[in-house]
Amino acid sequence: MAYPNTFRYTTEHEWVAPQAGKAARIGITDFAQHQLGDIVFVELPAVGTELVAGQAFGTVESVKAVSEVFAPVSGRVTAINTDLVKSPELLNSDPHGAAWMVEAELSDPAQAAKLMDSGAYETFVAEQDAAAH
Amino acid sequence: MLAELGLPSVDELFSHIPEYCRLNRSLNIPPGQAEADILAYFKAAAAANAPGFTSFLGAGAYHHFRPAHLDSLVSRGEWFTAYTPYQPEIAQGTLQSIFEFQTMICQLTGQEVANAGMYDGSTALNEACMMAARITGRSGFVVARSVHPQYRQVLHTLTQFRDFPTVEVGFTPAGTCDWDALRAAVTDATAAVAIQSPNFFGSLEDWETAAEIAHARGALLVAVITDPVSLGLLPPPAAADIVAMELQGFGIPVGFGGPYAGILASRQKFVRSLPGRLVGEARDSDGRRGFVLTLSTREQHIRREKATSNICTNQALCALMASIFMATYGKQGLRELAQHNLAKAAYAAQACSQAGLEVLFPSPRFHEFVVRLRRPLADLEPALTQAKLIPGLALHPDYPELGHALLVCCTEIVPRTAIDSLVAILAQR
């Protein structure tokens, strides 16, 4: 699966997609969902929660593990993806689209620009794959 | 072993322990003795345990009859697997027993999921409150004063250094929770409302009213039950969101300090917040029925410090005793057992009234009731000891406002003659 070039990525395998103004959507990458396997449960924060870059804001549970999801950037949650809560398997089928996790009003949109772009992230996951084999 | 470790002496083995923490003398115990002498010593000590006495003590520890096959069944070698196996699926028999235990607990409590066991009822209450805090994202607890005082103490101990403000709500002259006070105490910051029924005084609380008050402010209702035998007769706390129950009454002997066993049961929608082990039914690759540990991805051996709970031990042996007890009595038997308890306590309470003693709290009750004595219990102790009676629990230390009140429990094993003797002594002027 291709990594959208409008997104920014973290070494913890989250993505952030800038929207209009200070808004952005946050999710986990195709690499992350592949590592986790079949996803059975997603726990998201309440609307209004303050996200702090680098701190856990939710959990993703697959048949083999429960993992924290870390905020790639700081901001306040303005919406959560209730479809994803109802159908966690969306994370396996469409991690960069329908399976967005939260929408946030970023406190500093410039934070996102410091993260990896799609090219850098592709190189990063290729290294991860190589290290694993 | 020292040579293997490359250490010159036993002292060296403990070198990492600071000098001032070490015991630099022999233990203050007698020298070794012959086995026969030790047996004689303990037989003499056991004789001091009031043999032949009839006990009216309840208050969270209930003396029910234990069928003889309980101990022979739980002692079978098939159960000797590790009590909390980390490769659990190799012990299908153990998992099946836990699965059946969970199923029976759900049927009994009117809940949808039950875990494999907790330490005891009081820590189950604490875990239920923590679970409610996780689910609601709130931190306040409102607890009725008619909940067992020691359960409230345990909750206080485990929450006092964390940010979980807890308020207590009093009881009415009927001996049940003061609903108006409860309504006033529950706020939008309340995570859990904890109510016990039968409560500490033996009186029945109304689960529906408690649930309505809790839910009106978005809090969860935690139902506390100290004797599971009560569920043989009383409707299950189906209105509750979480049930925290003590299981000792189901075939676990009354010991000095335990063991006890607790249980948490709840709704399917809260299953991911439920601490402890959960066994599920599954099919193996050949389609045969089998059992697995479910949701163990949230447990401490996988999730470490992020686990749902780190104090939840699987009280497998005690849970097994309870399972055998439940299977032995069955639905009808458990009902009859509960009826015997109810009838004995009703007889005793009536006898107290007829003897001119004041029985407090007129509300419906199960197998415990509170009677007010004319003078301190200590004055009656010589007569009680002579009659080989343990009268019950003096409530003064926990409820000084009740005066010389005595909590009396009558289970099925208390003979009517003992009840008559007890009442005669308590009624002495």
Whether chain B has a CB inside 8 Å of the CB on A68: the answer is yes
B216: its two tokens: 């009106």
Nearest to B297 among A43, A61, A68 (CB): A61
Preceding peptide of B259 cis, ω within 30°: yes
The answer to whether A41 contacts B298, with C-beta atoms less than 8 Å apart, is: no
- CA gyration radius, chain A: 14
Mean pLDDT score, A34-62: 92
Instruction: Assess contact for B325 and B250: CB atoms under 8 A.
Output: yes
CA dist B63 and B68 (Å) reads 15
Rounded to a whole number of angstroms, the distance from the CA of A79 to the nearest CA of chain B is 17
Mutate to test the interface with A, among B188, B268, B272, B301 (most CBs of A within 10 A): B272
Q: B347 CB contacts (<8 Å, ≥6 apart)?
A: B410, B416, B419
CATH (residue range B54-67+331-426): 3.90.1150.10
Q: What is the 3-state secondary structure (H, E, C) of B216-256?
A: HCCCEEEEEECCHHHHHCCCCCCCCCEEEEECCCCCCCCCC
CATH 3.40.50.280 holds for B69-325: no
Closest residue on chain A to B294 (Cα): A63
Nearest to B297 among A43, A66, A68 (CB): A66
The answer to whether B272 contacts A68, with C-beta atoms less than 8 Å apart, is: no
Q: Which CATH architecture has domain A8-132?
A: Beta Barrel (2.40)
CA dist B373 and B366 (Å) reads 21
* Residue B368, pLDDT score: 98
* Residue B86, pLDDT score: 65
Torsion-angle region of B64 (φ positive above 0: left; ψ -120 to 50: alpha; else: beta): beta
Nearest to B297 among A43, A46, A64 (CB): A64
Closest residue on chain B to A43 (Cα): B272
Nearest to B298 among A46, A66, A68 (CB): A66
Q: In sequence order, what are the beta bridge partners of B177?
A: B171
3-state secondary structure of B266: strand
Q: In sequence order, what are the beta bridge partners of A24?
A: A18, A104
Chain B residues bordering chain A (beta-carbon distance below 8 Å): 137, 272, 297-298, 302-303, 306
Whether chain B has a CB inside 8 Å of the CB on A41: the answer is yes
CA dist A69 and B39 (Å) reads 60
Return the closest-CA partner of residue A64 out of A104, A28, A35.
A35
> With 60 as the cut, is the pLDDT of residue A31 above it?
yes
Nearest to A46 among B137, B272, B298 (CB): B137
Indicate if ipTM > 0.90: no
Amino acid at B151: Y
The answer to whether B297 contacts A46, with C-beta atoms less than 8 Å apart, is: no
Closest residue on chain B to A56 (Cα): B306
Chain A residue numbers with beta carbons less than 8 Å from the beta carbon of B306 are: 66, 68
Return the closest-CA partner of residue B103 out of B291, B288, B241, B366.
B291
The overall average pLDDT reported for chain A is 92
* Residue B282, pLDDT score: 93
The answer to whether B302 contacts A61, with C-beta atoms less than 8 Å apart, is: no
Amino acid at B403: G
> Model-level pTM?
0.86
* Residue A101, pLDDT score: 97
Mutate to test the interface with A, among B297, B299, B303, B309 (most CBs of A within 10 A): B297
The answer to whether A66 contacts B306, with C-beta atoms less than 8 Å apart, is: yes
Whether chain B has a CB inside 8 Å of the CB on A86: the answer is no
Which DSSP state fits A70?
A: E
Closest residue on chain A to B295 (Cα): A63
- pLDDT tier at A132 (50, 70, 90 boundaries)? confident
Rounded to a whole number of angstroms, the distance from the CA of A68 to the nearest CA of chain B is 9
**Phi, psi angles (nearest 5°) of residue B329:** -75, -40
Closest residue on chain B to A66 (Cα): B297
* C-alpha distances out from residue A92 to A5, A29, A40, A87, B272, Å: 20, 10, 10, 10, 21
Amino acid at B374: R
B136: its two tokens: 């609601």
* Residue B294, pLDDT score: 84
pLDDT digits (tens, 9 = 90+) for A101-112: 999 999 998 888
CA dist B230 and B242 (Å) reads 17
Return the closest-CA partner of residue A8 out of A126, A117, A110.
A117
CA dist B404 and B391 (Å) reads 13
CA dist A104 and A7 (Å) reads 15
Chain B residue numbers with beta carbons less than 8 Å from the beta carbon of A65 are: 297, 302
* Residue B138, pLDDT score: 94
Whether chain B has a CB inside 8 Å of the CB on A114: the answer is no
* Residue B85, pLDDT score: 60
Q: Where are the domains of chain A?
A: 8-132
Q: What is the pLDDT along chain B (429 residues), one digit of tens a residue?
A: 888 989 898 888 888 999 899 888 889 988 899 999 999 999 999 888 888 899 999 999 999 999 999 999 998 887 776 555 667 777 888 889 999 999 999 999 999 999 988 889 999 999 999 999 999 989 999 999 999 999 999 999 999 888 899 999 999 999 999 999 999 999 999 999 999 999 999 999 999 999 999 999 999 999 999 999 999 999 999 999 999 999 999 999 998 778 899 999 999 999 988 988 889 999 989 999 999 888 776 776 667 667 777 666 667 889 999 999 999 999 999 999 999 999 999 999 999 999 999 999 988 999 999 999 998 999 999 999 999 999 999 999 999 999 999 999 999 999 999 999 999 999 987
Return the closest-CA partner of residue B367 out of B407, B423, B326, B395.
B407
* C-alpha distances out from residue B412 to A131, B209, B231, B245, B337, Å: 68, 31, 15, 21, 7
* Residue B428, pLDDT score: 87
Q: B189 CB contacts (<8 Å, ≥6 apart)?
A: B138, B139, B140
Nearest to B297 among A43, A46, A65 (CB): A65
Q: Where are the domains of chain B?
A: 54-67+331-426, 69-325
* C-alpha distances out from residue B235 to A26, B240, B242, B388, Å: 47, 12, 15, 36
CA dist B181 and B213 (Å) reads 11
Chain B residue numbers with beta carbons less than 8 Å from the beta carbon of A63 are: 297
* Residue B84, pLDDT score: 59
**Phi, psi angles (nearest 5°) of residue A104:** -135, 155
Closest residue on chain B to A61 (Cα): B297
